[in-house]
Amino acid sequence: MKILGIGSRLKHSEYGVGVVTNVTAKHYWVTFIENGLETIDIDSEFEVIEAVEGEVDTVSFYEVEKILKNLLQKWSDVSQIVPIADKWKGGKLVLEPGTPTQNKEVPIDIFFNKIIMVRDRLRVMEQKINSSNLDNSEKVELQQYITRCYGSLTTFNVLFKSTSDYFVGEKTK
C-alpha cells in the first residue's frame, strides 16, 4: 500500500470529498468540503481522486504556528510578549491621593501589560492609517499625533527590560 502525500484528494463514503492535510503513522488528517477536519485510518476504505507523492511532512506545525503568530501580530491588536525589567517583577504601583482617602495599589505587572496594550493598539492604528485611502498630508498629520503619543509614554520606558522596546517620540534637533 502506498502512502498518500499532503495535498492528495480523496472521496470517503461517510465524509465525502476532501484533501489530505497531514499524515501520521496510522492516520490521514483530511479536510472534507462538507464535514471539516477528520482523521481517518490509513487503511480505511476511500477512493483516491488524485494522489500526491513525496509531500508528507512538508510543513511542520511549528512553522505554521510561527507564520500565524507573525500575521496576528502584524494585522491585529494581539500583544507580543514584552518582558518587564527584573527590578519591577512582583512590585506594585501605589497611587497616593492628595486628600485623606485610601491609597490605590495596582500590581505593576498588570499596569505594565496595560501600557503594552496601548502601545500595540497605537501600532495597529499606525498600520491602518498607512494602508488607508487618506491623502498623504492627512496620513502625515495623523502619524505626527501617534508619534506625540509615543513621546508622552516615554516616562514608562523605565519599566522595560530591553531598550529596543522603549517608546520613542519626536527627536529634537
142, containing H or E segment:
helix 136-152
**What pLDDT is attached to residue 142?**
92
User: Which residues of the chain have a pLDDT value below 50?
Assistant: 58
DSSP per position, 50-82: E---S-TTSS-HHHHHHHHHHHHHHHS-PPPP-
**Hey, which bits of 24-151 come out as E strands?**
27-32, 36-41, 47-50, 92-95, 104-107
**What pLDDT is attached to residue 11?**
94
**What pLDDT is attached to residue 1?**
62
| Strands 16-23, 27-32: pairing kind | antiparallel
Q: How confident is the model over 86-127, as pLDDT tens digits? A: 898 999 999 999 999 999 999 999 998 888 888 888 888 888
